A = this chain, B = another copy of it.
Amino acid sequence: MATESVSTALPLRTAKQSEAHPLAPLNAGEIRNAVLLIKAQWPANVDLRFKCVTLHEPAKAETVPFIEAEFHGYNLPRVDRRAFLNYYLRNTNKFHEAVVNLSTQTVEKNVRLGPNLHGPGDGEEILAIERVALGDEGVQAEIAKLKLPEGAHVVVDPWIYGSDGVNDDERLWQAFLYMRDPENSAEADSNHYALPLTISPVISSTSMKVVRIDHLPTGKDNTISGPKPYQRRPGNEYISELQQLRTDLKPLHVVQPEGASFAVTNQGTSHVVEWQKWSFRVGFNYREGMVLYDVRYEGRNLFYRLSLSDMNIPYADPRHPFHKKSAFDLGDAGAGVMANDLKLGCDCLGSIHYLSAVLADDKGEPMNMPNVVCIHEQDGGIGWKHTNYRTGRAAVVRNRELVLQSIITVANYEYIMAFMFNQAGELAYEVRATGILSTQPIDDGLEVPWGTVVHPGVLATHHQHIFSLRVDPMIDGYHNRLVYDEALPMPRSDFNPHGTGYYTQETVLEKSGGYDLDFERNRTFKIQNVDVRNAVNGKPVAYKIHAPPFQKILSDTESFNHKRAEFSDSNIYAVRYRDGELYAGGQYTNQSRGGTGVRSWANRKENIKDEDLVVFVQFGINHIPRIEDFPVMPCEVIKVALKPVNFFERNPAIDVPPSSQEFNKSTLLSEQHQQGATEGVIDGSGQVCCTTPGPSSKL
């Protein structure tokens, strides 16, 4: 992969120990320092365009002793701080990867990467591509043929070019054109996705010139009917001042009069969160956004590292150029760099703690990213309940949850991602898909089986959202195994004479590979530590993976879509841990060719039993658009959960204080409410309010 090495280590090691935690994202000074060290490798007149300047996480062999020493209060070993950088020589295709040791002020790696390895898009670049497309005389001539109404405002959505192996070695952008509602042309937030145009210029990111102008098929086949004069169509706006808003929604406030139950300790760019026996460290980088490290419960090791690894969104329309729409929103752009600046009272409800981050812009300058993560508690309904029907006494607790939420905007789409913890030792990762469908023009009166007409003349093509959650476990230690349980019917026998018996059977996964769910067998994957046994029942401690089913990638196995999205064809990938293997679709997904992601790693068929293993959990949606998904789609929610199995000795939420009116202060609305005499009665422990009448009046 290295084709040109320009790296030279500085001869003298500067013994300058950084104060930052080994897992802390780079701070502004470190970003500047790393960039300066790289710039010093080049003549002063060489202009570098940075794609990323981010923490190069230390080797696990270094980090584990550090975090264990930290946890136990021992002397901390020294761990060097390093930065990882990608950059181009500006306006060239010369793409570089570099590692800088900030502790020693050494450039440890600085190589030009080979062909077909391309950097992600960035915000400045996208805006520049928009300008190039609109400024191009050829594009303007094509637009003129559309005879748009006076004052029409054309909007450009640049798309990652994708890969089909046809003249796509160069780094390119495919631009889709839209217009604002002509009756609303001055409104910068007019929903242009309601008015797609048929022209699609292709721009080289090296020359920053239009290299081709595609015309989009709008019929039921591949035919290009060419630019046709515009016919008036309605708009379909989403901004509030253009709606007749409903007026009957009453406010709902979440109030925590004594403050929140969590504590956040800021250590520079790193944040330690403690809540209800959980503790973990929060990082944030340009690509994955939120990363959780060193997740523990009551000090017991659970997860070394948790993050969204990548996502892939292949589209169903097989016609050029739509067949190349297959975005990797993390690899092609970045969940960190696209994170929303979350606003109090808008994106979260209740008592909110915000985390901000520092990333680098295209010039290598630190860039503040305010409020990219919000942390708050929410009520998750009843946690557990039991009523003894003989005494009528109800024991009930609520399920308080801690939420870390981050929201990203990827051109038309939005994703709301959240890590959620509860008091029963359970952890979930939730994704809400929302935002606007990527649309294309369609002839009037036509229906096609690869999309849905969501507005006159507007087709929303089917597409899959396939997510990969990277789970690096340390269940009571760093050597774990992956197993699955299945529930199977017992054959009839003297032991099972009535055909009712069933049993569970465990299968241990010996080798790295891709593994699938099977609901017909209730197949349930668990990450186990066989060296630590439950004190009561002797079973290995474990966490199970609750993942919803999803349809695997529909592109065929020979397609570039399939080859590139290496995580898209199995519910579970399990691999032996190696430093640097973080991204399920490979390090460089933009116009990638495959062969560098989790399927390739799994194919090494390494032993994963009782080793340091990593599990990638895939989940997703096959989004068959409804008209209700336009102009902005209601959130579609998917969730993966990690739950203890024989890890504790009993329900870990058994010690949550009972739910009581004294604590919860609810409000009674019903006029003829018949709350019994026991309402509000506090017993000797000062806690219990929930007794009911005896069994004679109810079962």
When the two chains form their complex, are residues B675 and A651 in contact, meaning their CB atoms are under 8 A apart? no
**A9 close to B (CB within 8 Å):** no
Instruction: Report how far A536 CA is from B454 CA in the complex, Å.
Output: 7
B628 contacts A645, CB within 8 Å?
yes
Contact with B along A23-56 (1 / 0, CB 8 A): 0000000000000000000000000000000000
| Partner-contacting stretch, out of A85-93, A134-142, A662-670 | A662-670
> Is A353 within 8 A of B670, CB to CB?
yes
Contact with B along A656-684 (1 / 0, CB 8 A): 11111111111111101111101110011
Quick check: A627 and B698 within 8 Å, CB to CB?
Answer: no
**Shortest Cβ distance from residue A342 to the other chain B in the assembled complex, whole angstroms:** 9
Chain A 490-516 interface mask (CB, 8 Å, partner B; 1/0): 101011111111111100000000000
- Are the C-beta atoms of A500 and B561 separated by less than 8 Å? yes
When chains A and B are docked, how far (Å) is the Cα of A197 from the Cα of B118? 69
In whole angstroms, what is the CA distance A198 to B667 when docked? 47
Q: Which residue of B lies closest to A435 (CB)?
A: B386
Q: Which residues, 267 to 312 on A, are CB-close (under 8 Å) to B?
A: 276-277
Q: Is the CB of A323 within 8 A of B626?
A: no
Interface status of A687 (Cβ within 8 A of chain B)? yes
Task: Evaluate whether A253 and B255 lie within 8 angstroms (CB atoms) in the complex, with A369-B698, A554-B489, A669-B260 already known.
Answer: yes
A680 vs B669: C-alpha distance when bound (angstroms): 31
Is A497 within 8 A of B340, CB to CB?
no
Q: In the complex the two chains form, what is the Cα distance from A550 to B519 in whole Å?
A: 6
Considering the chains assembled together, what is the distance between the CA atoms of A495 and B318 in angstroms? 7
Contact status B385-A407, CB under 8 Å: yes
Give the nearest-CB partner of A673 in chain B. B354
Asked if A651 and B622 sit within 8 Å, CB to CB, the answer is no
Q: Is there contact, CB below 8 Å, between A668 and B624?
A: no
Query: In the assembly, what is the distance between CA of A353 and CA of B667, in Å?
Result: 9
Interface residues of A in 370-407 (CB under 8 A from B): 370-371, 377-379, 381-391, 393-396, 398-400, 407
Is the beta-carbon distance between B351 and A669 smaller than 8 angstroms? yes
Inter-chain CA distance A473–B552, complex, in Å, is 32
A selection of 12 A-B contacts at a CB cut-off of 8 Å is A222-B494, A333-B699, A341-B693, A344-B675, A345-B665, A347-B382, A370-B676, A384-B635, A452-B537, A502-B554, A502-B555, A630-B651
Which residues of chain A from 530 to 546 have any CB-CB distance to chain B below 8 Å in the complex? 534, 536-539
Interface residues of A in 423-460 (CB under 8 A from B): 423-426, 432, 434-436, 447, 449-450, 452-456
A122 to B696, CA, bound (A): 11
Excluding A318-B495, A333-B699, A504-B624, 16 further A-B contacts by CB distance (< 8 Å) are A189-B391, A250-B260, A323-B501, A345-B660, A345-B662, A346-B658, A346-B690, A353-B669, A381-B635, A453-B536, A489-B556, A500-B556, A500-B561, A522-B551, A522-B624, A627-B648
Query: Is the Cβ of B673 less than 8 Å from the Cβ of A351?
Result: no
Q: Given the interface contacts A318-B496, A434-B385, A549-B549, does A687 sit within 8 Å of B253 by beta carbon? A: no
In the complex, identify which listed stretch (A202-210, A239-247, A578-586) lies at the interface while the others stay far away: A239-247
A586 to B633, CA, bound (A): 41
Write out the residue numbers on chain B whose beta carbons fall within 8 Å of the beta carbon of A249: 261, 276, 400, 656-657
| Least CB separation from A236: chain B residue | B650
A697 on the interface (CB 8 Å rule)? yes
A548 neighbours in B (Cβ, 8 Å): 548
Tell whether A594 is near chain B: CB-to-CB under 8 Å. no
Nearest-Cβ distance from residue A518 to partner chain B, whole angstroms: 9
Please state if A555 and B238 are interface contacts (CB–CB under 8 Å): no
Is A482 interfacial (CB 8 A cutoff)?
Answer: no
Chain B: CB-nearest residue to A340? B387
Q: How far is the CA of A416 from the CA of B381 in the complex (A)?
A: 10
A666 and B251 in contact, given A343-B679, A425-B628, A659-B346 (Cβ under 8 angstroms): no
Q: Is the CB of B676 within 8 A of A651?
A: no
Q: Mark A609-635, 1 if CB is under 8 A from B, else 0.
A: 000000000000010101111111111
Contact of A256 among B252, B519, B549, B630 (CB under 8 A): B252
Tally of chain A residues near chain B (CB < 8 A) = 220
Taken together as a complex, chains A and B put the C-alpha atoms of A266 and B671 apart, in Å, by 11
Chain B residues with Cβ below 8 Å from A216 are none
Closest B residue to A341 by beta carbon equals B692
Give the residues in chain B near A456, CB-CB below 8 Å: 536
What is the chain B residue whose CB lies nearest that of A626?
B645
Does chain B have a CB within 8 A of A483? no
Q: Does A649 contact B (CB under 8 A)?
A: yes
Q: Is the CB of B449 within 8 A of A462?
A: no
Residue A520 CB within 8 A of the other chain: yes
- Cβ-based interface call for A80 (8 A): no
Nearest B residue to A521, CB-CB? B551
Chain B residues lying within 8 Å of A504, measured Cβ to Cβ, are: 449-450, 462, 624
Is A123 positioned at the interface, with any CB of B under 8 Å from its CB? yes
* Measured CA separation A418–B679 after assembly (Å): 23
A556 to B522, CA, bound (A): 16
Q: How far is the CB of A420 from chain B (nearest CB, A)?
A: 10
Does A78 have its Cβ within 8 Å of any Cβ on chain B?
no
B352 touches A666 (CB 8 A): yes
The answer to whether A387 and B370 touch across the interface, beta carbons within 8 angstroms, is no
**Cross-chain contact of A254 among B252, B414, B647 (Cβ < 8 A):** B252
Residues of B within 8 A of A315 (CB): 500
Name the contact of A245 in the complex, choosing from B188, B339, B652, B687 (C-beta under 8 A): B687
| Contact of A127 with B695 in the complex, beta carbons under 8 Å | yes
Whether B462 lies near A698 (C-beta < 8 A) is no
The interface centre, meaning the residue of A351, A385, A399, A521 with most chain B CB atoms within 10 A of its CB, is A385
**A127-B695, A251-B257, A385-B414 in contact; A558/B499 too (CB < 8 A)?**
yes
| B residues near A661, Cβ cutoff 8 Å | 343-346
Q: Which B residues are in CB contact (< 8 Å) with A399?
A: 634-635
A698 CB contacts on chain B under 8 angstroms: 123, 337-339, 341, 367, 369
User: Across the interface, which residues of B come within 8 angstroms of A252, CB to CB?
Assistant: 254-256, 350, 377-379, 400, 664
What residues on B are CB-neighbors of A333 within 8 Å?
699
Is B254's CB under 8 angstroms from A384's CB? no
- Interchain CA distance A442-B274 in the complex, whole Å: 40
